[in-house]
Amino acid sequence: MSFHAAVFIAVSLDGFIARPDGAIDWLTERGERAGDTGYDEFMAAIDTVVLGRKTFEKVLTFGFWPYAGKQVEVLSTTLPTDVDERVIVHRTVDGLVETLNDRGAKRIYADGGRIVQTFLRAGLLNELTITTVPVLIGQGIPLFGALDADIALTHNATRTLNEGFVQSDYTIRR
């Protein structure tokens, strides 16, 4: 694997990335109050974005395309392969990885709950940046799911942002 895959994601204090219906209002209503989260700097170093179907569909509701200038890959068994000219749809993780290696992808942003879980289980992730939002939403889509084995992490840094947001960076130990 010649690429470096990273996660940059927000979670509620109780560990959810979205409400059960996929809504992220709890984040968008508060997000700007955090101040500079480092997201723009992170994205400037990314050449490829990998999304799952649900995250891709959520992005389409934003009213703008946040990945201009990036190669965007979507992992989905159900989306039509010609769903959007801005993305390439992959049916399998192996096919996705083959394309990433063939294209010479260097730094990948893995975004969305299922993609994070899939990349973790497949040993494809290198780093995690998790911003915890000071809100409890009670139920929703968890960031992490069941794993076959423990995944050891090295804690690199934790920053307190504005309004009680806390951001931690981890490297996945191999």
The CATH number given to whatever domain includes residue 108 is: 3.40.430.10
- The torsion angle over the Cα atoms of residues 112, 117, 123 and 128, rounded to 10 degrees, is 60
- Do 47 and 120 belong together in one domain? yes
Residue 66 domain boundaries: 38-125
Position 17 scores a pLDDT of 95
Query: Is the residue at 5 inside a domain?
Result: no
Position 31 scores a pLDDT of 86
Q: Is the pLDDT of residue 1 over 80?
A: no
Residues 13-29 have a mean pLDDT of 94
- Do 92 and 43 belong together in one domain? yes
Residues 88-93 have a mean pLDDT of 96
Question: Which amino acid would we find at residue 158?
Answer: T
- Do 102 and 157 belong together in one domain? no
- Do 52 and 105 belong together in one domain? yes
pLDDT digits (tens, 9 = 90+) for 106-160: 999 999 999 999 999 999 999 999 999 999 999 999 999 888 889 999 999 999 9
Taking the C-alpha atoms of residue 137 and residue 129, their distance in angstroms, rounded to an integer, is 21
Position 2 scores a pLDDT of 84
Is residue 10 very low, low, confident or very high in pLDDT (cuts 50, 70, 90)? very high
Question: Which amino acid would we find at residue 63?
Answer: G
- Do 119 and 130 belong together in one domain? no
Taking the C-alpha atoms of residue 171 and residue 154, their distance in angstroms, rounded to an integer, is 5
Question: Which amino acid would we find at residue 85?
Answer: E
- Do 62 and 75 belong together in one domain? yes
Q: Is the pLDDT of residue 162 over 70?
A: yes
Taking the C-alpha atoms of residue 65 and residue 12, their distance in angstroms, rounded to an integer, is 25
- Do 136 and 112 belong together in one domain? no
Which among 77, 58, 38 has a CA at the least distance from the CA of 162?
A: 38
- Do 91 and 162 belong together in one domain? no
Query: Is the residue at 62 inside a domain?
Result: yes
- Do 116 and 168 belong together in one domain? no
Residues 51-68 have a mean pLDDT of 93
Position 8 scores a pLDDT of 97
Query: Is the residue at 24 inside a domain?
Result: no
Query: Is the entire prediction scored with pTM above 0.85?
Result: yes
Position 128 scores a pLDDT of 98
- Do 135 and 119 belong together in one domain? no
- Do 97 and 131 belong together in one domain? no
Query: Is the residue at 7 inside a domain?
Result: no
Rounded to the nearest integer, the mean pLDDT of the chain is: 95
Our count of domains for the chain comes to 2
Is residue 32 very low, low, confident or very high in pLDDT (cuts 50, 70, 90)? confident
Q: How far is CA 85 from CA 17, 72, 89, 93, in A?
A: 27, 10, 10, 20
Query: Is the residue at 1 inside a domain?
Result: no
Taking the C-alpha atoms of residue 59 and residue 49, their distance in angstroms, rounded to an integer, is 12
Position 53 scores a pLDDT of 94
Query: Is the residue at 50 inside a domain?
Result: yes
- Do 92 and 134 belong together in one domain? no
The stretches of the chain forming alpha helices (DSSP H) are: 25-28, 39-44, 53-59, 93-103, 113-121
Which among 142, 133, 172 has a CA at the least distance from the CA of 155?
A: 172
